[in-house]
A and B are shown apart, each in its own frame.
Chain A
Amino acid sequence: MISIEELKKYSKKLEFYMNDEEEYATLAKEFEILLKQVDKIDKIEGIKEYEPMSFPFPLDDAYLRRDEVTMSLDRLDAFSNCKDVKNGCVSVPKVVA
Chain B
Amino acid sequence: MKDKSILELRSLIDEGKITSEEVFNESIKMANDSQGTVNAFVTIIDKYSKEESDSLLSGIPYALKDNFSTKGILTTGSSNILKDYIPVFDSTVYKKLKEAGAVLMGKTVLDELAMGGSGLTGHTGIVRNPLDNTRITGGSSAGSAAAVAMGTVPFAIGSDTGDSVRKPASYCGVVGFKPTYGRISRWGMFPFASSLDHVGVLTRNVMDAAIVTDVIKGKDEKDMTTLEDESFKYSENLESSLEGKKLFYIKEILESAALGEAKEVASNFYDVIHKLKEKGCIVEEISFRKDLLEVIYPTYFIISCAESTSNNSNLTGFIFGPRGKGDTPEEVMINTRSEGFAEMIKRRFIIGSYILERENQEKLFLNAKRVRNMIVTEMNKLFEKYDGLVLPAAGGVAPKINPSEEVDRLGDEYLLLENHLAIGNFGGYPSITLPSGFIGNMPIAVNLTCKVKDDLNCLQIAYQIEKTLGGER
Chain A neighbourhood of B228, CB < 8 A: 61
User: Which one of B9-17, B247-255, B290-298 contacts A?
Assistant: B290-298
User: Which one of B19-27, B94-102, B370-378 contacts A?
Assistant: B370-378
Q: Establish whether residues B341 and A41, one from each chain, have CB atoms under 8 Å apart when the complex forms.
A: no
Instruction: Report which of A33, A56, A65 forms a contact with B410, defined as CB distance below 8 A.
Output: A33
Q: Establish whether residues A78 and B88, one from each chain, have CB atoms under 8 Å apart when the complex forms.
A: yes
Q: Establish whether residues B346 and A18, one from each chain, have CB atoms under 8 Å apart when the complex forms.
A: yes
Q: How far is the CA of A45 from the CA of B369 in the complex (A)?
A: 15
Instruction: Report which of B320, B370, B372 forms a contact with A81, defined as CB distance below 8 A.
Output: B320
Q: With A81-B321, A95-B329 as given contacts, are A14 and B350 in contact (CB-CB < 8 Å)?
A: yes
Q: Establish whether residues A92 and B195, one from each chain, have CB atoms under 8 Å apart when the complex forms.
A: no
Chain B neighbourhood of A33, CB < 8 A: 410-412
Question: Would you give the shortest CB distance from B408 to chain A, in whole angstroms?
Answer: 11
Q: Establish whether residues A56 and B334, one from each chain, have CB atoms under 8 Å apart when the complex forms.
A: no
Q: With A7-B350, A44-B295, A90-B318 as given contacts, are A54 and B195 in contact (CB-CB < 8 Å)?
A: yes
Chain A neighbourhood of B215, CB < 8 A: none
Q: Establish whether residues A81 and B319, one from each chain, have CB atoms under 8 Å apart when the complex forms.
A: yes
Q: Establish whether residues A62 and B298, one from each chain, have CB atoms under 8 Å apart when the complex forms.
A: no
Q: For the complex, is B366 an interface residue (Cβ under 8 Å from A)? A: yes
Q: How far is the CA of A83 from the CA of B86 in the complex (A)?
A: 12
Q: Which of under 10, 10 to 19, 20 to 34, or 35 or more describes the interface residues of B? A: 35 or more
**Contact residues of A: prevailing secondary structure:** loop
Number of A-B residue pairs at CB separation under 8 A: 171
Instruction: Report which of B328, B338, B370, B425 forms a contact with A50, defined as CB distance below 8 A.
Output: B370
Q: With A13-B353, A34-B410, A77-B88 as given contacts, are A47 and B326 in contact (CB-CB < 8 Å)?
A: no
Instruction: Report which of B182, B292, B295, B347 forms a contact with A27, defined as CB distance below 8 A.
Output: B347
Instruction: Please tell me the number of chain A residues within 8 Å of chain B, measured between CB atoms.
Output: 55
Q: For the complex, is A1 an interface residue (Cβ under 8 Å from B)? A: no
Q: For the complex, is B384 an interface residue (Cβ under 8 Å from A)? A: no
Minimal Cβ-Cβ distance residue in B for A46: B374
| Residues 25-48 (chain A) with a chain B CB within 8 angstroms | 26-27, 30-31, 33-34, 36-38, 40-42, 44-48
| Residues 157-210 (chain B) with a chain A CB within 8 angstroms | 181-182, 195-196
Question: Would you give the shortest CB distance from B135 to chain A, in whole angstroms?
Answer: 25
Q: How far is the CA of A93 from the CA of B427 in the complex (A)?
A: 46
Q: For the complex, is B433 an interface residue (Cβ under 8 Å from A)? A: no
Minimal Cβ-Cβ distance residue in B for A17: B338
Q: How far is the CA of A83 from the CA of B411 in the complex (A)?
A: 40
Q: For the complex, is A82 an interface residue (Cβ under 8 Å from B)? A: yes
Q: Establish whether residues B370 and A34, one from each chain, have CB atoms under 8 Å apart when the complex forms.
A: no
Q: Establish whether residues A41 and B323, one from each chain, have CB atoms under 8 Å apart when the complex forms.
A: no
Q: Establish whether residues B316 and A15, one from each chain, have CB atoms under 8 Å apart when the complex forms.
A: yes
Question: Would you give the shortest CB distance from A95 to chain B, in whole angstroms?
Answer: 6
Chain B neighbourhood of A78, CB < 8 A: 88, 319
Q: How far is the CA of A17 from the CA of B294 in the complex (A)?
A: 33
Chain A neighbourhood of B85, CB < 8 A: 81
User: What 0/1 readout, one digit per residue, does chain B (444-462) give for beta carbons within 8 Å of chain A?
Assistant: 0000000010000000000
A-B complex: 9 closest residue pairs judged by Cβ atoms:
A56-B428, A52-B369, A81-B320, A16-B337, A53-B373, A37-B298, A77-B88, A83-B323, A16-B338
User: Which one of B39-47, B146-154, B219-227 contacts A?
Assistant: B219-227
Chain B neighbourhood of A44, CB < 8 A: 291-292, 295, 371, 374
Minimal Cβ-Cβ distance residue in B for A73: B88
Q: How far is the CA of A34 from the CA of B347 in the complex (A)?
A: 12
Q: How far is the CA of A10 from the CA of B227 in the complex (A)?
A: 38
Question: Would you give the shortest CB distance from B138 to chain A, in whole angstroms?
Answer: 21
Q: How far is the CA of A42 from the CA of B419 in the complex (A)?
A: 20
Chain A neighbourhood of B338, CB < 8 A: 16-17, 19
Minimal Cβ-Cβ distance residue in A for B295: A41
Minimal Cβ-Cβ distance residue in A for B196: A56
Q: Establish whether residues B195 and A37, one from each chain, have CB atoms under 8 Å apart when the complex forms.
A: no
Q: With A16-B334, A41-B299 as given contacts, are A59 and B89 in contact (CB-CB < 8 Å)?
A: no
Chain A neighbourhood of B386, CB < 8 A: none
Q: How far is the CA of A81 from the CA of B319 in the complex (A)?
A: 7
Chain A neighbourhood of B359, CB < 8 A: none
Minimal Cβ-Cβ distance residue in B for A79: B319
Instruction: Report which of B316, B332, B365, B427 forms a contact with A57, defined as CB distance below 8 A.
Output: B427
